[in-house]
Every structure is written in C-alpha cells, then in structure tokens.
C-alpha cells in the first residue's frame, strides 16, 4: 500500500459544545494519511492518475470551514466518510487536533482510521505459498 499524506492543514471553523465556542472561529489542525496506488501516476506523470492532494485539501477546507459541529469526533467521522466516498480512498488515518481546547498550550483531538488498510494485496499469493 502506498500512502499520500497531508500534514498540518490548518482550517478555521466554529466547533464546540460551549456557548462561547459557538460564536468564535478557532483553528483546527488536520493530518491525513490516505491509501493510494501511486504506480500508475508515477508511470504516466499525470495528475489525472494520482490522488490529487490539492483537490482533497480544497474539499476539506470547504467542508470544515462551512459547517458547524459540536464534537471533533463528529467532524472527523464526517470528513473521513466524505473523502472515502468522493475520492475513492480505501483506507485513511485522520488526525484532528483542536489546539488550546482545554487550556493554553494544550492540544486535544482524535485519531481515526477507516477502511481497509491492506487494499493492495498481492494477487494469487496465499500465506502458505510464501512459507514454501
């Protein structure tokens, strides 16, 4: 499995359960690892054959900044489902960090994995074949 990653994506949004959080934009930091077979893109050198991380980034920025959620868990699930569906991503790990949520200098958040991690299984090779 190959991985395309995006790290340190900072998006301003309104998120939180407290009244004061529902009226002020605050930053969230997203890190993503996404399964992608990069062989075809490497062979053709064409963006059409790659997982377009710019398109993924733009979609996340739009979704996170234009919607309101109370919990980081809900937002993380929403983003993971959206990316898997719209970009055909078989597996991803998403880290969502809400800096300063419980005090200055304290980061909190969630890390979720969704989908099948071993999406690029070898064809025709059974575990018993490898041990012979």
Q: What is the pLDDT of residues 62-108, one digit of tens each?
A: 999 999 999 999 999 999 999 999 999 999 999 999 987 777 778 89
Domains of the chain, residue spans: 3-119
| Whole-structure pTM value | 0.82
Query: How is residue 85 written in tokens?
Result: 């569906």
- DSSP secondary structure letter of residue 122: P
Catalytic one of 98, 105, 109, 122: 98
The percent of residues above 90 in pLDDT, for the chain, comes to 71
Q: What's the pLDDT band for 123 if we cut at 50, 70, 90?
A: very low
Burial environment of residue 88 by CB neighbours within 10 A (0 to 12, 13 to 18, 19 or more):
exposed
Q: What is the mean pLDDT of residues 7-30?
A: 92
Q: Give me the architecture of the 3-119 domain, per CATH.
A: 2-Layer Sandwich (3.30)
Q: What's the pLDDT band for 52 if we cut at 50, 70, 90?
A: very high
Among this protein's residues, is 22 annotated catalytic?
no
């Amino acid at each position: 499995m190959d991985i395309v990653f995006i790290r340190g994506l900072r998006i301003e949004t309104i998120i939180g359960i407290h009244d004061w959080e529902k009226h002020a934009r605050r930053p969230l930091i997203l890190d993503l690892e996404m399964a992608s077979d990069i062989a075809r893109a490497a062979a053709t050198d064409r963006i059409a054959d790659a997982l377009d991380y710019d398109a993924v980034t733009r979609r996340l920025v739009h979704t996170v900044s234009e919607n309101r959620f109370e919990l980081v868990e809900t937002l993380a699930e929403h983003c993971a489902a959206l990316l898997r569906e719209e970009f055909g991503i078989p597996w991803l790990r998403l880290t969502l960090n809400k800096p300063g949520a419980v005090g200055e200098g304290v980061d909190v958040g969630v890390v979720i994995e969704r989908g099948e991690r071993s999406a690029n299984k070898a064809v025709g090779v059974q575990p018993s074949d490898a041990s012979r």
